[in-house]
Amino acid sequence: MRRGTTPTITLTVDADVTGHAVEVTLRRPFMEPLTLTNDPDDNRLAMALDDGKTAIEFTLTQDETLAMHGPVEVQVRAVKNGVAIATDIGTLDVGRILREGVIHE
């Protein structure tokens, strides 16, 4: 992922969490975590089940990626039938850009 872009990111969870409460949290160094959910009021996560695994897809805004520097930690948490699960913490590399700021059409 590169700063100042609008990447679509897909994460895979080794469980069927479709239809349940799911959140994806990205933690950037020295910043508040960014959490996306499938709550109907937020609903930034798209999910699809394939062979018992859930693919979770989301798109970040330019402003969100501009706030990121260095590696970003990412984790998926869900509650299914009263049981809370969490993935291992992964990392996403964030590439530099030469000019700061949002670019408009």
Tens digits of per-residue pLDDT, 21-71? 999 999 987 889 999 999 989 889 999 999 999 999 999 999 999 999 889
Is 1 in a helix, a strand, or coil?
Answer: coil
User: What are the helix (H) ranges across the chain?
Assistant: 62-66
Q: What is the pLDDT of residue 28?
A: 82
For the chain, how many residues are written? 105
For the chain, give percent helix, strand, coil, nearest 5: 5, 45, 50
φ and ψ of 63, to 5 deg: -60, -40
Cβ pair 86, 75 in contact under 8 A: yes
- Domain 8-90 -> CATH class: mainly beta
pLDDT over 70, % of the chain:
100
Q: What is the pTM of this model?
A: 0.92
Q: What is the pLDDT of residue 89?
A: 96
How do strand 46-50 and strand 34-37 relate by DSSP bridges? Answer: unpaired
Rounded CA-CA distance 59/5 in Å is 10
Q: What is the pLDDT of residue 69?
A: 86
Could you state, in order of their start, the residue ranges of all structural domains in the chain? 8-90
